[in-house]
């Protein structure tokens, strides 16, 4: 009975795409905030040494005395390292530049893909959702994310090369599923920074739908300047201007995700009974 948060703890979702600047961090922060509005208990793990998810949640990455780096190295725990995002209403496991060294340190350690999962296991029951903001690489850090996750959410822009880059990620997800993490599922693709006036975007959007069917979330996130402004104020766009189109879309995405998880949970318990 996988993915049933009542019995196995939080849904653990990686927000991943190996391209940079496609909206991963914006999605991670705003989804965390949207789930918090729904009174879900959320932990946002910043797996990117750039620390954008940390800063965008109003947490000073340079002031964080303990970060994900120490947790991955086994020198600390998530319980000791997590910080509250006062603006977002969720917990953050902060990251900063130190984390870029983890890649090298981890290579020499045992269980190097499983370090994050071991840390998460200790807090899994405390949350409804654990979101992992992945770096724009298919590195050992991302592998730690995928090895910990029950699902992957892929934000993507509807641009010409979007589908091409996607196959590498989908193949990596499949490999992780077969080799290290049988709980891993593709939860869905989220179209972000969408501009309906651009014909090419409409075409690619339709292509994505025909390719991935019901794996594509119904909610589409528009390009909206309020979402881009929010991080410099240290808060999710959803909080910064809750009436903006971007904020409303991310709230709707949170609602859709929760509905989808509920449906999946029902399907799984029906299957378990059968
Ligand atoms: P990634 O984490 O994949 O590198 P980001 O979430 O940091 O991507 O987004 C890249 C840039 O695009 C950032 O400057 C962000 O503020 C901006 N951005 C993201 N989503 C939107 C959106 N829906 N509308 C406008 N700007 C956006
Ligand atoms: Mg990012």
Give tens-digit pLDDT for 39-75: 999 999 999 999 999 999 999 999 888 999 999 999 9
* pLDDT for the residue 1: 40
77 has pLDDT over 80: yes
* pLDDT for the residue 7: 57
Task: Report the nearest-CA residue for atom 24 of ligand 1.
Answer: 223
1 lines ligand 1 (CB under 6 A): no
CATH number at residue 181: 3.40.50.300
Query: Under a CB-based contact definition with an 8 Å cutoff, are residues 192 and 155 in contact?
Result: yes
Rounded to 5 degrees, φ, ψ at 138 are -100, 65
User: What are the residue ranges of helices labelled H in the chain?
Assistant: 5-8, 24-37, 52-56, 68-72, 78-81, 102-107, 115-121, 140-148, 162-179, 199-212, 225-229, 237-240, 245-273
136 lines ligand 1 (CB under 6 A): yes
Give tens-digit pLDDT for 98-121: 999 998 899 888 889 999 999 999
6 has pLDDT over 60: no
DSSP conformation letters of 8-34: H--EEEEE--SSSSSSHHHHHHHHHHH
Task: Report the nearest-CA residue for atom 21 of ligand 1.
Answer: 193
ipTM of the complex: 0.99
236 lines ligand 1 (CB under 6 A): no
Task: Report the nearest-CA residue for atom 16 of ligand 1.
Answer: 228
Domain that holds residue 11: 5-273
How many domains does one find in the chain? 1
Instruction: Give 199: exposed, middle or buried? Use CB within 10 Å, 0-12, 13-18, 19+.
Output: exposed
Mean pLDDT, residues 200-211 taken together: 93
Query: Under a CB-based contact definition with an 8 Å cutoff, are residues 233 and 241 in contact?
Result: no
Give tens-digit pLDDT for 138-171: 899 999 999 999 999 999 999 987 788 788 889 9
Atom of ligand 1 nearest to the CA of 28: 6
């Amino acid at each position: 009975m996988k993915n049933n948060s009542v019995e196995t703890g939080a849904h653990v979702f990686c927000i991943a795409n190996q391209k940079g600047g496609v909206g991963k961090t914006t999605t991670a922060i705003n989804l965390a905030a949207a789930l918090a509005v729904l009174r879900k208990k959320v932990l946002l793990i910043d797996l990117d040494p750039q620390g954008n998810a940390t800063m965008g949640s109003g947490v000073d990455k340079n002031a964080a005395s303990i970060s994900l780096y120490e947790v991955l190295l086994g020198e600390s725990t998530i319980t000791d390292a997590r910080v509250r995002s006062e603006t977002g209403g969720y917990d953050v496991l902060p990251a900063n530049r130190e984390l870029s060294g983890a890649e090298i340190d981890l290579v020499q350690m045992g269980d190097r893909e499983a370090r994050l999962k071991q840390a998460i296991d200790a807090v899994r029951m405390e949350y409804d959702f654990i979101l992992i903001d992945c770096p724009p690489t298919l590195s050992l850090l991302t592998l730690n994310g995928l090895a910990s996750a029950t699902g992957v959410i892929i934000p993507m822009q509807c641009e010409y090369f979007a589908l091409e880059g996607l196959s590498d990620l989908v193949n990596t997800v499949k490999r992780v599923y077969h080799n290290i993490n049988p709980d891993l599922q593709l939860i869905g693709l989220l179209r972000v920074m969408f501009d309906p006036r651009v014909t090419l975007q409409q075409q690619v959007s339709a292509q994505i739908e025909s390719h991935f069917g019901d794996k594509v979330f119904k909610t589409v996130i528009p390009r909206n300047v309020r979402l881009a402004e929010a991080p410099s104020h240290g808060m999710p766009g959803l909080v910064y201007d809750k009436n903006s189109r971007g904020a409303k879309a991310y709230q709707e995405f949170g609602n859709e995700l929760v509905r989808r998880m509920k449906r999946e949970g029902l399907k799984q318990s029906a299957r378990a009974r059968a």
